Structure 1
């Protein structure tokens, strides 16, 4: 049975120790869906500024509450099949931190195919003195590769997918961000100073908007000297892509993965997302993604999926954000 993030944290992290970072416009919806989490611990970012700023803000909140607090960073769009293996792996991460408190720990996934949509972690020498199986020093982080490079990574056997799951002390990541991203941390420190005061909402809006957004991989992970990776034993997928739906949906006899009302005519290996009250029909199509919503329709070859980012930029440039 697939576990939600909160399901797989039961017995490991309490709801009172859970901090949820989301879009400001989604705060009330998230609070309704997660009533067990104290409402003040569901925090809305005023605008998108990528993962480094999000993590910096969360770390400041945690460090203010507990200077010795440890953070486990979990993206919400992951599918993990076994909570027991997941929790054991997280406990292994804690062992690595106990051995070296200033260390950063990440979790790699053994590749099952040459994915172009995931980043990769190159494993270095094994860490053998912490009693943690399949723990390694990180030799390098690699951005999302092209198909040929991804195949080389998988063939070499030295690379894992970068899961985007991290563990560190809040103080460690804040210190690293101050070292590598001082301009960002100037804004985060101003927000932190206003926490618990009436000026916090205005300060958050003003200072967060001025941050130059970038990913935590670029801001810290590629630069930090002591990063360890544990090769995770659990099955994992990132549902941030349409092809992930295909991997998580049982295909029909033609290899089509379907949600909604769909009539395929000489169509194979399709990913189709629609609604039960709207019929989608394809004729003579293969290896395509078709997504129909109330106000937009996407049709693209599977191999062009990454270009959805171009669509987002074009919609923003045209001020057609209602279609995002």
Structure 2
């Protein structure tokens, strides 16, 4: 059967001050009325019932996620004891899914993407499921055709075409990490590279075997946890064994080395919503090129991104290309070109004893 695993443990530091430790980006409504996590679950439609949906997150977010997803069984919200990157997250989820269903196929996805067409998304997942049923050793990923020379995404290079009813599928030639500007332009010009969506499909047994082969130490800890599922000491074992894992991304641990990866060209509109500038792609700018979510009065203001809290109006005069984000207890003002430096806010606040703003 098909199971869905949603990775929702990120901290969303680039979306401060709206994103906080106990309410990170995936729990915010940045596009529409539903939060990003709720929209991710909604996107599954009838493809995967709630009983086969799993959220893997930071243990401090379990209660907040349960509140946002009341239809989800409590045991399906898995709290990691500590942050260990995506490979341990995937390994833990695969062990839990495999315990329930030895023949399970898993679709694994981040919780903070915007995908405009639920129908196209579901069709792509169904096509990937068919490819895995043809060859159970396959791993399927989804590539986004690039529209510009992005330096902030990883890339997947396609190889030979693979017969796949309902989707354009190719053998993966290679994975590439985030490139510099010149390399990104070369990838765009080549026409054979996709943005790496971070959405994967595989049998639970396949990914566990791949981790066992490529990351034996990590797998040993996952196996120790799996052995105690359903036992009285499971929580204690999870806490101890998971903390002992050396963190690594699933791309490094498996995807870049696995010999049988297929990429499906995604037909759905996609955005990874990585920073405040993503709002310009999600909301139509006004006549002056300002992207406004909330209440804003601009006088001689062009190209700004303004996000305000309900009941609060921001006024800007004679400014260009700023990010202005207002919340009840903090306000961010930064030039758009420096948006990556929002990551530095957490360290600066801690140094000044302002941990309460994190």
When the two structures are superposed, what TM-score results if normalisation uses the length of structure 1? 0.92
Matched, 1:229 2:263: yes
Change (3 A) 1:183 1:31: same
Instruction: Select 1:35's aligned residue among 67, 70, 76.
Output: 70
| Secondary structure, counterpart of 2:57 in structure 1 | strand
Change (3 A) 1:189 1:312: farther
User: Within 2, Cα distance between the matches of 1:19 and 1:227?
Assistant: 24
Instruction: Select 1:238's aligned residue among 259, 266, 272.
Output: 272
**1:102-147 Cα shifts (integer Å, max 9, x gaps):** 111000111122222222111111113x435310111111222233
Greater Cα offset, 112-121 or 167-176: 112-121
* 1:106 aligned residue: 141
Greater Cα offset, 137-146 or 249-258: 137-146
Structure 1's unaligned 5+ residue stretches are: none
Matched, 1:60 2:109: no
| Secondary structure, counterpart of 2:43 in structure 1 | helix
Greater Cα offset, 271-280 or 26-35: 271-280
Greater Cα offset, 107-116 or 220-229: 107-116
* 2:230 aligned residue: 196
User: Within 1, Cα distance between the matches of 2:349 and 2:248?
Assistant: 21
User: Within 1, Cα distance between the matches of 2:234 and 2:321?
Assistant: 49
User: Within 1, Cα distance between the matches of 2:181 and 2:356?
Assistant: 33
What does residue range 246-261 of structure 1 map to in structure 2 within 5 Å? Answer: 246-261=280-295
User: Within 2, Cα distance between the matches of 1:47 and 1:194?
Assistant: 19
Aligned length: 323
Structure 2's unaligned 5+ residue stretches are: 1-30, 33-37
Matched, 1:69 2:100: no
| Secondary structure, counterpart of 1:84 in structure 2 | helix
Change (3 A) 1:96 1:42: same
Instruction: Select 2:305's aligned residue among 271, 274, 279.
Output: 271
When the two structures are superposed, what TM-score results if normalisation uses the length of structure 2? 0.84
Instruction: Select 2:320's aligned residue among 286, 293, 300.
Output: 286
| Secondary structure, counterpart of 1:272 in structure 2 | strand
| Secondary structure, counterpart of 1:114 in structure 2 | coil
Deviation of 1:317 (Å): 7.4
* 1:145 aligned residue: 179
User: Within 1, Cα distance between the matches of 2:345 and 2:174?
Assistant: 31
Greater Cα offset, 197-206 or 82-91: 197-206
* 1:120 aligned residue: 155
User: Within 2, Cα distance between the matches of 1:210 and 1:292?
Assistant: 39
**1:259-317 Cα shifts (integer Å, max 9, x gaps):** 22323232211112221333333333322322233443333333333343344455567
Tell me if structure 1 keeps the 8 A contact 2:124–2:167.
no
What does residue range 19-34 of structure 1 map to in structure 2 within 5 Å? Answer: 19-34=54-69
User: Within 1, Cα distance between the matches of 2:202 and 2:221?
Assistant: 22
User: Within 2, Cα distance between the matches of 1:134 and 1:291?
Assistant: 41
User: Within 1, Cα distance between the matches of 2:104 and 2:348?
Assistant: 41
Instruction: Select 1:82's aligned residue among 117, 120, 123.
Output: 117
Deviation of 1:163 (Å): 0.8
User: Within 2, Cα distance between the matches of 1:148 and 1:304?
Assistant: 20
| Secondary structure, counterpart of 1:91 in structure 2 | helix
Change (3 A) 1:321 1:65: farther
Tell me if structure 2 keeps the 8 A contact 1:117–1:306.
no
Tell me if structure 1 keeps the 8 A contact 2:289–2:302.
yes
Change (3 A) 1:319 1:19: farther
| Secondary structure, counterpart of 1:111 in structure 2 | coil
Tell me if structure 1 keeps the 8 A contact 2:116–2:268.
yes
User: Within 1, Cα distance between the matches of 2:351 and 2:206?
Assistant: 38
